[in-house]
Structure 1
Amino acid sequence: MRALILSFLLLILGADARLSAQENSGVQGQLPRDTIQVVDTLVTAVNQGDFSSVEFATVTKDSVIFDLKDDPLASKMDSLWLSELSNNTLYEELYTTITDLDYEPVEYEELPTELLKERLKAIDAKTPFNVEYNPQLESVIKYYLKNRRRSMGKLMARSNYYFPMFEEALNRHEIPLELKYLAIVESALDPTAKSRVGATGLWQFMFTTGKIYGLDVSSYVDERSDPLMATEAACKYLKSLYNSFEDWDLALAAYNSGPGNVSKAIRRSGGYTNYWNIRNNLPRETAGYLPSFLATMYLFEYAEEHGFKPTLPSTPYIATDTIKVKQLITLEQVSRYTNVPVEQLQFLNPSYFLGIIPVVKDENYVLRLPVQAVGPFVANEDAIYGLATQEIAQREKPLPQFVAQDAKIRYRVRSGDYLGKIAKKYGVRVSQIRRWNNLRGDNLRVGQRLTIYPRNPGRSRASSTTTTQTNSQGAKVYTVKQGDSLWSIAQKFPGVSVENIKSWNDISGTALKPGMKLKVSKG
């Protein structure tokens, strides 16, 4: 066992791993003392099945945690753009635009009407959608050109990740690739978007429709927010609608308001079947739906001509891969063990709305990771699961069992409450409370009822004792405990972020050790 572990370490360190047990014993004397200690610790841990004494942060570049140093400013910028990618304010902006379109003429000198007609004709020639010029479509396109410059940059950044995924599925189902733009109209490419009536995800499935197309919702997972599963379901639904109406414009209208509303609009119009001829008989939102889709298609097809560029770096879809999880694990634990920021994990795994990946019989729940983190995770998965199991077991209150009755509570807003305070009390994030309760902003009213899925049911963090001391500079100092992470520590102190803690303590990694002293105020 000792020889095997030593060979593994030498392989990672770049040495010749093809060493026999005899050669291993001969090379030991040439290795640093701390490497020999690591081997001893790993051998003991494997033999006893106890990994509590293993400090993976000091092993090698391919270990569970490798404390890589990073530039603080670059790290902060990464954190900001990851937060921006998952921000749902863009969805609100686009949703409001569709419902409030007035189709009044819009002046935009950079796009003369004749040039627009020429470009729309070029688009029409390569798509099965009816992309014909009319003054109302011109109004929407020019309105978007004037008012969506900032949002277009963000949408293009998100599209770099999602569009390859969409195109693969659309091509496989033999339906137009241009339908990838539909997800922009539906959700602004936000997999956690939720409409006022409860439609959820990139493709905005209602609960019942999602069930019909195989998208389940449980205490831990909302498959409507799973990009791959929801895209597959959307393709099937769109193809079914097209088979009914034999027209893609009408299929899109039916996707938005339901086939029944489109059939009624056809009857009320006197039997017309062209979208523009029945539009006045459709619900208001659906009346603006196809114009918004076509305008979005135009903006993306001619983005370069209008100077649109992604305003944020994006994660290429091809640079990610999935791992089937073998036991319950949290995104926070994965972040700590792989050094992938928890915000990036949330972006890549949006269907786990509690930040927990469960293991359920007959379900294939997977973890999506940046490709460079997949190898280290797989190579160390036994150790990772061992550490995760120990951490869960050591908590005063374990994670709730799947479909547990007490996994959800109803909280009544009191005077002086705000989202950050409530989130801290129950050990959750503000974004989660917004999502669970379909909140558009931060405003609360006294007496309002909120659904909360507390991290530790039956015991809030506010009721636990957070011990701090004050140093000679007047800064509060917190002692790291087993199971702590930078994110969980930041949640204990209102107004304190992970970046604050890193800056105040001059650290750039995420690896922590029990007993470590951290400043949690500026001083």
Structure 2
Amino acid sequence: MPIRNKVTLLDIVDNPLIRIPVFLVFILIGPLFLPGKVAADTPEGLEGFSPFPPAQSAGEFFFREEDQGMVCLNNEISQDEDTVISSMEQQRSEYVILASYSQNVLARSSIERQIALYTTRRRKTFAKWLERSGRYLPLIRDILKEEGLPEDLTFLPLIESGYNTAARSHARAVGPWQFISATAKRYGLKINYWVDERRDPVKSTRAAARYLSSLYDQFDSWPLALAAYNAGEGRVRRAIRRSRTDDYWKIARSHYYLKRETRNYVSKFIAAGTIASDPEAYGFNDIDYHRPISFEAVTINHPASLSFIARCAATSLKVIRGLNPELKRWCTPPNLRTYTVRIPKGMGEVFRRCFENASARDRMPRIPYVIRQGDTISEIAERYGVPQKEVYALNKGISPRRLRPGSMIYLPPVNAKRGRVISRPNRSRSVPYVVQAGDTLYDIAGKYRVSRRKLYALNSGVDPRRLRPGELIYLPYRD
């Protein structure tokens, strides 16, 4: 049964027809049943009650906040406060945030509007989000458990990104948790030309867990913490100060303190989580959930291209990119000696043998280029359609002011603009090759399985009897 249909003590007390009789009963017979300090409390104390989520408890327990902590109001329990708190934490429902809204009429109406939106106008989009959630929900849930956070926060990426690791907002927030750059770096995520760890489902979830924990420590309220996650801590503090209340739902009722997105944010989260936790109850009966992500992490001690990693893991480049969405380029960062990559589960031993037995050229293919008179790094990069950053990364220590004609540098094997092997400046379908000692055109044609006629045609100005080591020739490009 959906949480929104559960009847609690507060629902009864809120009924105006029986509120007065209930209060009189508590005044007259309350001391007979309530132990110690709580038994002497007046009915006004009921305003602090909240229903304990019933999903994991054997009976209905109700708690009230006291100066010393949470005090149990069930006279069958005779534990001290610390024991009660510990027991509550062990038995609490998995979805404590989702359940809490049922106590608040303001919250309930706002959340039900969002539920109606997700089940009607945005139904098709929400169904896609649910399908994609199957890939990441188990992973995120386990991490949040380890970090000691409520499990219903697992559904927060549902409204942030639809569990899309490549999601990017108009505010330049990136990844499943939609971190902006400054916040991501504050919580240890790396963002540079080669990687963007906001896209990494593991690292970004760890960072989000630390951030959410910090926000809860600041505001001592999950609605306020979630609002701050959306709008920033400063805006929420100002809203509290100006509204003179720390009740998120009262703040959100006014148009003066928070932007519309933040006023609706917590309602969207609870609505989305409520549906996702029981989709059949809301008519989502045919969801084709993606298979949960499964991988094995291996550490490599040399930079490598993603295509080589895929080959060693006996899988496709698409699979490797899907398991390592933080990698933005064609290879692992060349400036890092070691890097941990994810490969399909069970392929670790095969991958290690392949990687260790491969040559440096196989692991990190590079295209040699011989400097000509008048060349500059910027002109070479522009000519071949590759970023200057990659040229510098592949040629450590190179000085752009000291390029000597005849010296050799390396270019990335992929044209950044076209996503293909780089070609000659005249755009003929060919790739450069630097002649090695002992090479002949005949041997080169046989080694690379190319037609000698095509090889000679591409290098018509080259005397095959006078090939010099370091000289640049071109080979036909094959798809």
**Distance in 2, Cα, partners of 1:333 & 1:159:** 30
The answer to whether 1:297 aligns with 2:265 is no
User: Which residue does the alignment assign to 1:141?
Assistant: 115
User: Which residue does the alignment assign to 1:494?
Assistant: none
Determine which of 97, 102, 118 is the counterpart of 2:5. 118
Determine which of 334, 358, 362 is the counterpart of 2:309. 334
| Residues 76-104 of structure 1 deviation map (CA, whole Å, 9 limit, x = unaligned) | xxxxxxxxxxxxxxxxxxxxxxxxxxxxx
The answer to whether 1:128 aligns with 2:96 is yes
Contact 2:111 2:267 in 1 (8 A): yes
User: Which residue does the alignment assign to 1:215?
Assistant: 189
**Distance in 2, Cα, partners of 1:315 & 1:384:** 32
Contact 2:140 2:154 in 1 (8 A): yes
| Residues 290-321 of structure 1 deviation map (CA, whole Å, 9 limit, x = unaligned) | 1110111111111133343675563423x311
Structure 1 residue 404 displacement after superposition: 8.2
- SS of the aligned residue for 2:190 comes to coil
Structure 1 residue 171 displacement after superposition: 1.2
Structure 1 residue 391 displacement after superposition: 3.0
Bigger shift: residues 338-347 or 193-202: 338-347
User: Which residue does the alignment assign to 1:205?
Assistant: 179
User: Which residue does the alignment assign to 2:429?
Assistant: 466
Q: Scaled by the length of structure 2, what TM-score is found?
A: 0.58
Determine which of 221, 239, 251 is the counterpart of 1:278. 251
User: Which residue does the alignment assign to 1:238?
Assistant: 212
Q: 1:230 to 1:136 in 2, by over 3 A?
A: same
Q: 1:115 to 1:326 in 2, by over 3 A?
A: closer
Q: 1:465 to 1:313 in 2, by over 3 A?
A: farther
| Residues 353-399 of structure 1 deviation map (CA, whole Å, 9 limit, x = unaligned) | 113212545x8632111114333212211234545247325688895
**Distance in 1, Cα, partners of 2:119 & 2:449:** 50
Structure 1 residue 352 displacement after superposition: 0.5
> How many pairs align?
320
Q: 1:173 to 1:115 in 2, by over 3 A?
A: closer
The amino acid across from 2:393 in the alignment is F
Q: 1:233 to 1:294 in 2, by over 3 A?
A: same
**Distance in 1, Cα, partners of 2:2 & 2:140:** 30
Determine which of 314, 317, 324 is the counterpart of 2:299. 324
**Distance in 1, Cα, partners of 2:2 & 2:364:** 65
Q: 1:352 to 1:517 in 2, by over 3 A?
A: closer
The amino acid across from 1:296 in the alignment is A
Q: 1:331 to 1:128 in 2, by over 3 A?
A: same
Contact 1:152 1:310 in 2 (8 A): no
Bigger shift: residues 119-128 or 320-329: 119-128
The amino acid across from 2:248 in the alignment is Y
Structure 1 residue 242 displacement after superposition: 0.4
The amino acid across from 2:279 in the alignment is A
Structure 1 residue 175 displacement after superposition: 1.1
Larger Rg: 2
Contact 1:338 1:373 in 2 (8 A): yes
**Distance in 1, Cα, partners of 2:359 & 2:286:** 38
Contact 1:218 1:403 in 2 (8 A): no
- SS of the aligned residue for 1:228 comes to helix
**Distance in 2, Cα, partners of 1:464 & 1:148:** 47
**Distance in 2, Cα, partners of 1:120 & 1:145:** 24
Structure 1 residue 241 displacement after superposition: 0.6
**Distance in 2, Cα, partners of 1:201 & 1:115:** 30
- SS of the aligned residue for 1:368 comes to strand
**Distance in 1, Cα, partners of 2:478 & 2:367:** 24
Q: 1:175 to 1:147 in 2, by over 3 A?
A: same
The answer to whether 1:287 aligns with 2:246 is no
Determine which of 340, 355, 364 is the counterpart of 1:366. 340
**Distance in 1, Cα, partners of 2:187 & 2:449:** 39
The answer to whether 1:383 aligns with 2:362 is no
Q: 1:344 to 1:354 in 2, by over 3 A?
A: same
Contact 2:299 2:341 in 1 (8 A): yes
Q: 1:233 to 1:515 in 2, by over 3 A?
A: same
Contact 2:299 2:338 in 1 (8 A): yes
**Distance in 1, Cα, partners of 2:357 & 2:415:** 31
Structure 1 residue 145 displacement after superposition: 0.9
- SS of the aligned residue for 1:402 comes to helix
The amino acid across from 1:131 in the alignment is Y
Contact 2:156 2:269 in 1 (8 A): yes
User: Which residue does the alignment assign to 1:402?
Assistant: 393
Contact 1:242 1:251 in 2 (8 A): yes
Q: 1:462 to 1:293 in 2, by over 3 A?
A: farther
The amino acid across from 1:298 in the alignment is T
Contact 2:297 2:342 in 1 (8 A): yes
Contact 2:163 2:176 in 1 (8 A): yes
Q: Scaled by the length of structure 1, what TM-score is found?
A: 0.53
Structure 1 residue 200 displacement after superposition: 1.4
The amino acid across from 1:275 in the alignment is Y
Q: 1:227 to 1:404 in 2, by over 3 A?
A: farther
User: Which residue does the alignment assign to 1:58?
Assistant: none
User: Which residue does the alignment assign to 2:328?
Assistant: 353
Q: 1:154 to 1:394 in 2, by over 3 A?
A: farther
- SS of the aligned residue for 1:322 comes to strand
Contact 1:359 1:365 in 2 (8 A): no
Q: 1:214 to 1:232 in 2, by over 3 A?
A: same
Contact 2:129 2:162 in 1 (8 A): yes
Gapped runs of 5+ residues in structure 2?
9-50, 55-92, 371-383, 397-413, 431-444, 451-474
Determine which of 343, 348, 352 is the counterpart of 2:318. 343
The amino acid across from 1:237 in the alignment is Y
Q: Quick one: percent identity of the two aligned structures?
A: 28
Contact 1:426 1:462 in 2 (8 A): no
Question: Pairwise CA RMSD of aligned residues?
Answer: 4.0
Q: How does 1:234-273 map to 2 (within 5 A)?
A: 234-269=208-243, 271-273=244-246
The amino acid across from 2:333 in the alignment is P
- SS of the aligned residue for 2:347 comes to helix
The answer to whether 1:229 aligns with 2:220 is no
Contact 2:296 2:347 in 1 (8 A): no
Q: How does 1:56-67 map to 2 (within 5 A)?
A: none
User: Which residue does the alignment assign to 1:410?
Assistant: none
**Distance in 2, Cα, partners of 1:144 & 1:173:** 30
**Distance in 1, Cα, partners of 2:137 & 2:367:** 41
Bigger shift: residues 129-138 or 167-176: 129-138
Q: 1:331 to 1:153 in 2, by over 3 A?
A: farther
